[in-house]
Amino acid sequence: MGALVLPPALCFFVLAAHFFRAGNLPLVAAALCFPPLLFVPRAWAARVIQAGLLAGVVVWVTTLAAFAGQRRAAGLPVTRLALILGGVALATAACLLVFRSERAKAFFGLRGPSAPAR
């Protein structure tokens, strides 16, 4: 798996840093539970990681909406914030594509049942 697990792990570390900055230690701990699962060769581990990444996308989008609303109300520009948090949300979503690779499917056992021979 090697380099294939780096982007999802980085996404979880960035998410943990976001929660740490907000002072939410239980969510920091939760986010840090996901990277070790990247080394568990089971289909359930892949599904848990995918759910965590999807939850991360939701966190980034809701954070973007909340911060943008606060900045707009204060009369401050929103564009840079939207580009940064939108990019982080997009990068987190893109990490879901890791699980479509043949190497990830083989490692996690995500291959479906064999198609019947014709």
Tokens, residue 99:
């699980």
Whether the CB-CB separation of 53 and 47 falls below 8 Å is answered with: no
Q: Per-residue confidence of the chain (118 residues) as pLDDT tens digits?
A: 678 899 999 999 999 999 999 999 999 999 999 999 999 999 999 999 999 999 999 999 999 999 999 999 999 999 999 999 999 999 999 999 999 999 999 999 987 655 455 5
Dihedral sign from CA coordinates of 26, 30, 31, 35: positive
Whether the CB-CB separation of 56 and 12 falls below 8 Å is answered with: yes
φ, ψ at 116 (rounded to 5°): -65, 145
Q: What is the pTM (predicted TM-score) of this model?
A: 0.89
Whether the CB-CB separation of 67 and 84 falls below 8 Å is answered with: no
Chain centroid to CA 88: 9
